[in-house]
Structure 1
Amino acid sequence: MAATLKDVAARAGVSVKTVSNVVNGYTFVTEQNRLRVQEAIEQLGYVPNIGARNLRKGRTGFVTLAVPELTNPYFAELCGLVMTAAARHDWTVLIEQTGGVREQELTVVDAAHRSLVDAIIFSPIGLHPTDLAESGIDTPLVLLGERALNGRAHHVAIDNVAAATTATTHLVDLGRRRIAAIGDQPGPHGTAALRRRGYLRALEAAAITPDPALVVSAASYSRAEGAAAMRHLLALPAPPDAVFCFNDLLAIGALCALRDRGLSVPGDVAVVGFDAIDEGNYTAPRLTTIAPDKSAIAEAAVTLAHTANRDGSQDPRDVVTPFTLVVRESTTI
Structure 2
Amino acid sequence: MVTLNDIAERTGVTVATVSNALRNRGRVAEQTRARILAVAEELGYEVNLRARHLRIGRTDTIAFIAPSFHDYFSGLADEIAVEVEAGRRHLVLERTAARTENEREAISLTRLQMFDGVLLSTVGLDREDIARAQSRVPLVVLSEREMPATVDHVMLANEDGARLATAHMIDGGARNIVVLGGSTAPDLGIASSRRAGWEAAHSDAGIVADPRLIVPLPDFSMHDAREAVRRLLRDGVRFDAVFAVTDVVALGAMSALTGHGCRIPQDIQVAGFDNIATSDYLSPGLTSVDPDHRGVAHTAMRLLARRIAGDPGPAEHIVVPVSLVVRGSTRAR
TM range (shorter): 0.7 to 0.9
The equivalent of 2:159 in structure 1 is: 161
Identity %: 30
Picking from 80, 85, 88, the partner of 2:86 is 88
Kindly indicate whether residue 241 of structure 2 is the aligned counterpart of residue 239 of structure 1. no
- Equivalent position to 2:96, from 90, 98, 103: 98
Q: What's the offset of the Cα at 1:238?
A: 4.6
1:285 aligns with 2:294: no
1:116 alignment counterpart:
114
Distance change in 2, residues 1:34/1:206 (3 Å)? farther
Counterpart Cα distance in 1 of 2:34 and 2:140:
38
Deviation of 1:329 after TM superposition, in Å, equals: 0.8
AA of the residue aligned to 1:156: V
1:74 to 72, 75, 78: 72
Residue 22 of structure 1: SS of its match in structure 2?
A: coil
Between the aligned partners of 2:134 and 2:277, the Cα distance in structure 1 is 39
Q: 1:250-289 counterparts in 2 under 5 A?
A: 250-289=249-288
**Contact persistence 1:245–1:271 (CA under 8 A):** yes
Once residues 35 and 315 of structure 1 are traced to their aligned partners in structure 2, the CA distance between those partners, rounded to angstroms, is 52
8 Å CA contact 2:217, 2:225 repeated in 1: yes
Task: Report how far residue 214 of structure 1 moved.
Answer: 1.1
Measured in 1, the distance between the counterparts of 2:196 and 2:90 equals: 38
Which stretch shifts more, 260-269 or 110-119? Answer: 110-119
Amino acid in structure 2 at the alignment position of 1:315: P
Instruction: Report how far residue 19 of structure 1 moved.
Output: 3.1
2:147 corresponds in structure 1 to 149
Give the aligned residue type for 2:324.
L
Say if 1:292 and 1:323, in contact at 8 Å, map to a contact too: yes
Give the superposed CA RMSD.
3.1
Say whether the 8 Å CA contact 2:7–2:39 is kept in structure 1: no
Kindly provide the amino acid, as one letter, of the partner of residue 136 in structure 2: D
Task: Give the drift of 1:152.
Answer: 3.0
**Matched position secondary structure for 2:309:** helix
Residue 174 of structure 1: how far off its partner (Å) = 1.1
Relative to structure 1, the CA distance from residue 223 to residue 6 in structure 2 (aligned partners, 3 Å threshold; closer, same or farther) is same
Give, in angstroms, the shift of residue 241 of structure 1.
Answer: 0.9
* 1:182 to 2:180 alignment: yes
Report the Cα offset of residue 154 of structure 1: 1.0
Runs of at least 5 residues in structure 1 that lack an aligned partner in the other structure: 24-28
User: Tell me, which stretches of 5 or more residues in structure 2 are unaligned?
Assistant: none
Q: 1:162 & 1:39 partners in 2: Cα distance? A: 62
SS of 2:306's partner is helix
C-alpha distance in structure 2 between counterparts of 1:74 and 1:36, whole Å? 51
Aligned residues: 326
Once the two structures are superposed, residues 129-179 of structure 1 have per-residue CA deviations (whole angstroms, 9 ceiling, x without a partner) of 233345672311111131242223111122111111111111111121111
- Structure 1 length normalisation: TM-score? 0.85
Give the superposition deviation at 1:81.
2.6
Looking at structure 1, the residues matched to 185 and 274 of structure 2 have their Cα atoms a distance apart, in angstroms, of 21
Per-residue deviation, 1:328 = 0.7
What amino acid maps onto 1:174 in structure 2?
A: G
CA contact (8 A) 1:112 1:120 kept: no
Counterparts of 2:158 and 2:61, CA distance in 1: 30
SS at match of 1:311: coil
Maintained 8 Å contact 2:286/2:327: yes
Please give the alpha-carbon distance, in whole angstroms, between the structure 1 residues aligned to 2:299 and 2:123: 20
Larger mean CA deviation between 203-212 and 230-239 belongs to 230-239
Task: After TM superposition, give the deviation of residue 35 of structure 1 in Å.
Answer: 9.2
